[in-house]
Chains A and B, each alone.
Chain A
Amino acid sequence: MISKKKRTPQLAVIGGGPAGLGAALAASKAGLDDIVMIERDIELGGILPQCIHDGFGSKVFKEVLTGPQYAQRYIDEISRTNVEVLLNTMVLELAGNRTITAVNSAEGMITIEPKAVVLAMGCRERSRHQVFIPGYRPAGVITAGAAQRDINIEGLMPGRKIVILGSGDIGLIMARRFTLEGAQVEGVYEIMDHPGGLPRNIVQCCYDYDIPLLLSHTVTFIHGKKRVEGVTVAHVDADLKAVKDTERFIDCDTLVLSVGLIPENELSKHAGVTLDPVTAGPIVDERMETTVDGIFACGNVVNVFDLVDYVTRTSEVAGRGAAEFVLQGRKREAPVKVLPGRNVKYVVPQFVSDLGRDIDFYFRVEHPERAVTARVLAGTTPLKSKKHKMVHPPEMLTASATVADIAEAAKAEGRKVDSLMVEVVDSGK
């Protein structure tokens, strides 16, 4: 059944989590009055409704909220607009000319031809097969986010004796959650020699409950045919390879994997959007517009953020950018590349289309370092810099460059700025 109704809104937002909500609201405030938001789940909020812990919103609201509380703020606001929200609706295809094919049980197949699109699909979890853990395929191997959904939304307990692989925030949060729901968490195992999550989570999720956190360890085998019966863990060497004679067996019925998040870009690929191999998300400019005109992207689909506050901020940039594109059209100048400099793994945005605006940069360092200065360079001229006592990969950093700063740099160099760089250097220099 193909719905006879073809929607031709000004803007289609794919994803109703914090990124999609922020973009739709910002676009609405910027003057768009015909916006469709498409969400595959039964309600809005994205991942937030299952993130029942607090720690959200300290920058945006100056309050520390739980995930559902943060989502509720935006859900309340969107209900006061005329944004059309399609729930239980899955986008199957996105064409380069922005035509969307979606499906739901109420209308069947739906065609949407918007003037602009905001991609806000978020990310998915890395699975067991992507990290190559041998063994049979018993029940009881589950990713941390899926376990979180089971426990916090579905009311299901994935298991009773838990081993967690990966010390990223989701793994740590679930160590606590499983414990509070009566399971026994045997330990959290981390392949790197430093933890993946924030210090506060190590304290409040492991230390508080006497759950061991072992660094430089990994799971080398999953035992059990129908149900997990245990795992083998081993110490790893400097090349992250398991050291055979350090192997030991741990009795458990569930292995929870917290081994990374991958931006969900199937639709972006359909549309011919260029992806950045380092972030696994679209390459975007200072208005979060991708390499395809009229297709914007924000939130975790661009790169995995650790603060939802930054997701909200980038989504508002995308929403305003999309509104401007629809209402005024937008001719983009030759792109100015934004390069990751010393100890910077990646920077978003990856290019700038219009140097006539203030730009906010989001970046991560490659390795931990103490007593450093992070700074933006226009050409070879350093702009603002910020000192950090400590930087490490799990904590995303921000920097900015104002129009005035860039103009001054151009003046100092006697030519137009043709590249920007974000670097992290020793504070001594």
Chain B
Amino acid sequence: MSCALELTEEDGEVKGVTGAQCKVGEKYAAEEFSDPRRVVTTTVPVRHGLLPLLPVRTTTSIPRRLILDVTRRLAEVVLEAPVSNGQVIVPDIMGTGVDVIASRDLEKHDDRRQGQA
């Protein structure tokens, strides 16, 4: 869960992290300071699916400064149902080395629900 971390730095170099309740906390604090990264989740339009949108995610985190570019890039993708959970939608998005994958199965469905794609 959450804990309050304190990071000390000198000339942009991390000197220490205190207050972490687990090992993950120390690494997280250092990364937040020098190279903040985020998992990006959004939706991508799908044709002929049970739903008009497919939720997708980056498998791991990517640099925070690329979030908006990644979402804009994904808005251009158009998929065709059916889609499988974990299917790679865009490999190595924007050269990050991280894939964008489907977050669920989405079956084909002929009579469309409301919504656009």
**Interface digits, B1-18 against A, CB 8 Å rule (1 contact, 0 not)?**
111100000000000000
Is there contact, CB below 8 Å, between B53 and A152? yes
Interface 1/0s, chain B 91-117, versus A by CB < 8 A? 000000000000111000000011111
Whether A42 contacts B103 in the complex (CB less than 8 A), given A54-B39, A152-B53, A198-B2, comes out as no
Cβ of A389 under 8 Å from chain B = yes
A155-B117, A204-B38, A390-B4 known; A66 vs B52 contact (CB < 8 Å): no
For B21-36 the 0/1 string (1 means CB < 8 A from A) is 1000000000000000
- A107 at interface by CB-CB < 8 Å: no
Question: Which of B21, B71, B116 is within 8 Å of A155, CB to CB?
Answer: B116
- Tell me the chain A residues, 38-78 only, with Cβ under 8 Å from chain B: 42-43, 49, 52-54, 64, 66-69, 71-72, 75
Question: Roughly how many angstroms separate A153 CA and B51 CA in the complex, as a whole number?
Answer: 7
Residue B87 is within 8 A (CB to CB) of chain A in the complex: no
Residue of A nearest to B42 (CB): A180
* Chain B residues whose CB sits within 8 angstroms of the CB of A49 once the complex forms: 55, 104
- Contacts A68-B103, A208-B38; is A395 near B53 (CB within 8 Å)? no
Contact at B42–A42, with CB atoms within 8 Å?
no
For the complex, what is the distance from the CA of A151 to the CA of B39, rounded to whole Å? Answer: 19
Closest to B43 in A: A152
Provide the A181-222 mask, 1 if CB < 8 A to any CB of B, else 0: 000000000000000001110001000100000000000000
For chain B, give the interface size range. 20 to 34
CB-CB under 8 A from B45, the residues of chain A are 155
- Confirm or deny: A239 has a beta carbon within 8 angstroms of a beta carbon on chain B: no
Q: A92 on the interface (CB 8 Å rule)?
A: no
Interface residues on A, range: 20 to 34
Neighbouring A residues of B57 by C-beta, 8 Å: 52, 54, 66, 69
Cα distance A66–B102 when bound, in Å? Answer: 10
Asked if residues A52 and B103 are in contact (CB atoms below 8 Å), the reply is yes
Instruction: Say whether B50 faces chain A, with CB atoms less than 8 Å apart.
Output: yes
A156 an interface residue at 8 Å Cβ cutoff?
A: yes
Q: Is the CB of B103 within 8 A of A200?
A: no
Q: Judge if B73 is at the interface, Cβ distance under 8 Å.
A: no
Choose from A42, A69, A154 the contact partner of B50 (Cβ within 8 Å): A42
- A72 and B51 contact, CB distance less than 8 A: no
User: Contact: A155 with B41, CB < 8 Å?
Assistant: no
Known: A66-B57, A180-B67, A208-B64. Is A155-B104 also a contact (CB below 8 A)?
no
Minimum distance in angstroms from B15 CB to a CB of chain A: 22
Fill in one digit per residue for B59-92: 1 if any A CB lies within 8 Å of its CB, else 0: 0000010011001000000000000010000000
- Chain B residues with Cβ below 8 Å from A52 are 41-43, 55, 57, 103
B41, B50, B67, B104: which contacts A53 (Cβ < 8 A)? B41
> Using a CB–CB distance below 8 Å, which chain A residues touch chain B?
42-43, 49, 52-54, 64, 66-69, 71-72, 75, 151-156, 180, 198-200, 204, 208, 389-390, 395
Q: List 12 A-B contacts (CB under 8 A).
A: A42-B50, A52-B41, A52-B103, A54-B39, A71-B104, A152-B53, A152-B55, A154-B113, A198-B1, A208-B38, A389-B19, A395-B1
